[in-house]
Structure 1
Amino acid sequence: MKRRQFLCGSITAAMMSSVLRAAEGKSTPRILLRSSWQTVNIGDIAHTPGVLAILERYLPEAEIYLWPSNVKNGVQELLLSRFPKLQIVQGAEALKSAFAQCDFLLHGSGPSLVAERDVRRWHEETGKPFGVYGITLPVQDSASTQATPGDVFARTIALLSEAEFVYFRDSVSMQLAKDRGCTCPVMEFGPDGAFGTDLRDDEKAIAFLQRHGLEEGKFMCCIPRLRYTPYWVIPEKKRERDEIKHARNEAMKQHDHAPHRKAIMELVRRTDLKVLVCPEDRTQMAVGKELLYDPLPDDVKARVVWRPDYWLTGEAISTYVRSAGLFGNEMHSPIMCIGNGVPAIVCRWSEQTSKGYMWRDIGLGDWLFDFDNEADVERLPSAVLEMAKNPEAAKEKAAKARQFVIQRQRESMEMLQRTV
């Protein structure tokens, strides 16, 4: 589908929604979006503007209230510059007013039913409907190998059963909910909200690329990640080091980054592309330097750029869309890439829960690598090189996955339209 056709279809759907509401005598719908979990990760930031952009496209008549956990560090300004009508709910009185005014609570994408306590509060205090949009349903903590206590998980399933709909961002989570007895009337695959993110900061991105000699279409991005995010190195998190997770990180860090180093060397030596080593969260600049950039041979390092500082979502996407593709150990940068038609490879492991399987669900199983499987570890460099050497085929594959995502976005918003 061409961009013009897509926009026309979106406008038509939005106009029909407004006409139908007017004909039925319905007032303007007010939706309370529970999202914005943290700001130290551009993926967590992206959940919110992604869902907001999807709502804007399909329910333009709706008034959207955001109930955030954290919009500090420039994120509030970022959101309001893109969505000037957005009402951000902060403080007890503002929340009380939002509970009274809003018709529906939508829990945004995340690694679980992140705000379960708040959803339960909404349900019990207002009796108004709620829905869940694009979550993973984890059942086990890989650090302790202990399953989530049955009574706690059962409470989650019971609450999800009260929802108007639950969209799971991976089919493994959806099947788990069904197997555990969830009776929500609509349980379907629904892509992570971050696929919809359209933020841009072209000025910063272009300036950075020019400073480092990275030409549009002539570089690939690579993102490092440890098995567990070491939040204890981020001062504002104020966490003591988790020794079990730290030990796991240390044990696996070479295993999980050696394939990327090999891929970088293959790219530099066998193509005319450069490589940008960049972060998705605030801990990954150091990880990228230690495990990807510093160990490279000098002849390779000369055509590799290491980004030393964190960035926000707009600058990251403005960089990704100018690249030839992305590979690495993260999830949401690939999501933002595919959402914007950029080829992207995902590498996963059990500690990341089942979210990585969404790549298989959207038709990109060939670009999903399980680093708990040594065969996948071995074949990563050749897959990266194949993507680089056949850019048109890679873009076509990315575009096909993107169209599937857009279809599911439209269908899920049709469900929301009927509900509100």
Structure 2
Amino acid sequence: MLTRRRLFCAALASSAFAAPAKAIILRSSWQTVNIGDITHTPGVLRLLDQHLPEATVYLWPSSIDRSVEPMLRRAFPKLKIAKGGIGENGEPDTPELKEAFAATSLFIHGSAAGVSAQNHMHAWHSTTRGPYGCFGVTVTLSSEAASTAMDPKLKALLDGAAFVFTRETKSLENLKSSGVSAKTMGFAPDGTFSFDLRNDPAGDAFVKTNGLEPGRFIAVIPRLRLTPYHLIRKTNYTEAEIQRRTGINDRHKEEDHAKLREAIIAYVRKTGGKALLCPEMTYEIDIIDPLLYDPLPADVKANIVRRKTFWLPDEAASIYRHAAAVVSSECHSPIIAAAQGTPCMYIHQPEDGIKGQMWKDIGLGDWYFDVEQATGAAIAERLLTLTGRPEAARRKVKTAVEFAREKQRAGMQVVRQTWLG
């Protein structure tokens, strides 16, 4: 007697035999408390729209609240969204996800800090027996930042993948040194490099209301060494873990942000321009004042604008496109800026993992700083150099983004070939 799971799989196989499924399922949209995690999805959706325009795409999201779902539906009106999870029986637990499993012939794990949804990738493949792969992920040998460690289970899953494209070359090295034998492996930068959504009415209104003159202001984004998720949502952190994370943040927050302040002071005093202090993550709204604004001298404070509310990345992009530069301790705000043609600097913290390698990979290594090695003076000097030569800086970022998108295009050709079978 067939089990329920076998009946479900048999139904899928029968429908696939009668009419080969040509839809794609994209597992993405990891969280909405970080505009960088939001941009992964529309970036990869744009690539699919460009390179596989005839494909129907199902998005299988973790979270698309905070007005993210309407933003996606406006930008991608043909997109199908399948919410849900995998039950204890290994099957989709919602009607829309069951429909997506039945309709799709290729699974893509979207850009992420790791192979975050490996269990879902395995569940889809176990049910459909279809090909699967990863596009723009980080892979680490040991657990770091938001990346899970390579283990036998993950290696076996990646070995069976039709493709694994990592978002920086260090991850590709990790795959090779681990002996991963996916059919195709390569480098395809973070999906955010193809994020092209804007909300010009909201962005332009913010710029005008706050007296931000295009090309005459910088945007600066703070960050704590370890994201305080226990202050954002319910976690399973023990009290000891909370104390550990808080202790690390407290030890470094002043030294790290003093370097950003030095760059802000130099820019404002040298150019007479303004600085917009703004968040990439929700919690950063609360650290803008104590770590960036409050310690600034009075003459500089007069030229500071503070973002007091969280935003979606389309509005952020519309504002960043007007900036002279974006200087960020977070990774994705400068990528959003780069995609708009705006020069950007990434002040990387070691706790944020290996993703900073992307900047060197695409030719922006001299706009990348290790916060523990760089001085505030060096960051300020580089900022003044690139803002002092805006045309050259914009040419440089344009070349870098074109390179990133060419790598993505090459990766999408493999995705297309896999999809067509």
TM-score using structure 1 length? 0.89
Kept after mapping to 1: 8 A contact 2:27/2:117? yes
- Is 1:111 aligned to residue 104 of structure 2? no
Matching residue of 1:37: 30
| Aligned residue number for residue 88 of structure 2 | none
Q: Which string of whole-angstrom CA distances, capped at 9 and with x for unpartnered residues, describes residues 386-405 of structure 1?
A: 11111111101101101101
Deviation at 1:73, TM superposition (A): 1.5
SS at match of 2:282: coil
Please list, as runs of the form range in 1=range in 2, the aligned pairs for 1:385-396 lying within 5 A after superposition: 385-396=384-395
Correspondence for 1:209 among 207, 213, 226: 207
> What secondary structure, in the 3-state scheme, does the structure 1 residue paired with 2:57 have?
strand
CA drift at 1:28: 7.4
**1:251 Cα deviation after fit:** 0.3
Q: Note the 1:366-385 alignment, pairs <5 A.
A: 366-373=366-373, 375=374, 378-385=377-384
Give 1:221's aligned residue. Answer: 219
The answer to whether the 8 Å contact 2:34/2:280 transfers is yes
Change (3 A) 1:297 1:376: closer
Separation (CA, whole Å) in 1 of partners of 2:54 and 2:68 = 24
Q: Indicate conservation of the 8 Å contact 1:39/1:73, yes or no.
A: yes
Corresponding residue number in structure 1 for 2:294: 294
Alignment of 1:19-418 (within 5 A): 29-91=22-84, 92-141=94-143, 153-235=151-233, 242-373=242-373, 375=374, 378-418=377-417
- Residues 122 and 377 (structure 1), Cα distance of their counterparts in 2 relative to 1, 3 Å cut: farther
SS in structure 1 of the partner of residue 330 of structure 2:
coil
Q: 1:65 to 1:291 in 2, by over 3 A?
A: same
- How far apart are the structure 1 equivalents of 2:236 and 2:322? 36
**How big is each residue's C-alpha offset from its partner over 1:182-225, in whole Å with a ceiling of 9 and x where there is no partner?**
01121111110111111111111111111111011111110000
Distance 2:26 2:389 in 1: 41
Runs of 5+ consecutive residues of structure 2 not aligned to the other structure: 1-18, 85-93
Cα displacement (A) at 1:29 = 2.7
Residues 192 and 142 from structure 1, CA distance in 2 versus in 1: closer, same or farther, beyond 3 angstroms?
Answer: closer
Report the secondary structure of 2:225's partner residue. Answer: coil
Q: Percent identity between the aligned chains?
A: 42
Residue 287 of structure 2 aligns to a residue whose secondary structure is: helix
SS at match of 1:327: strand
Task: Give the Cα separation in 1 of the matches to 2:294 and 2:143.
Answer: 32
Q: Which amino acid aligns with 1:45?
A: I
CA deviation string 1:318-346 (max 9, x = no partner):
00111111012011111111222111111
Query: Is the contact made by 2:285 and 2:307 (CA closer than 8 Å) also made in structure 1?
Result: yes
**C-alpha distance in structure 2 between counterparts of 1:208 and 1:243, whole Å:** 38
8 Å CA contact 1:142–1:350 kept in 2: the answer is no
Q: Matched residues in 1 for 2:303 and 2:322: separation? A: 17
Unmatched segments (≥5 aa) in structure 1:
1-25
Please say which of residues 200-209 and 27-36 is displaced more in the overlay.
27-36
Code of the aligned partner of 1:178: K
Shift of 1:140: 3.2
**Which residue identity does 1:161 align to in structure 2?**
D
Q: Aligned equivalents of 1:137 and 1:235: distance in 2? A: 25
Q: Is the 8 A contact 1:65 1:98 kept in 2?
A: yes
Which amino acid in structure 2 is aligned with residue 176 of structure 1? N
User: 1 CA distance for matches of 2:73 and 2:390?
Assistant: 36
1:201, 1:315 within 8 Å by CA — same for their partners in 2? yes
Superposition TM-score, scaled by structure 2 size: 0.89
Structure 1 counterpart SS, 2:24: strand
Superposed CA deviations along residues 223-282 of structure 1, whole A, max 9, x for unmatched, are 000101112222576977621111100000011111110000000111132110110010
Q: Which amino acid aligns with 1:205?
A: G
Give the C-alpha shift of residue 378 in structure 1.
4.9
Cα contact 1:190–1:412 (8 A) shared by 2? yes
- Tell me if structure 1 keeps the 8 A contact 2:21–2:105: no
The residue matched to 1:140 in structure 2 has which SS? coil
Instruction: State the shift of 1:74 in Å.
Output: 0.8
Q: Is the contact made by 1:231 and 1:239 (CA closer than 8 Å) also made in structure 2? A: no
Per the TM alignment, residue 139 of structure 1 is displaced from its structure 2 partner at its CA by 3.3
Query: Would the aligned equivalents of 1:43 and 1:332 in 2 still touch at CA under 8 Å?
Result: yes
Give aligned pairs, total.
Answer: 389
Q: Aligned equivalents of 2:417 and 2:143: distance in 1?
A: 37
The separation in 1 between residues aligned to 2:315 and 2:31, in whole angstroms, is 18
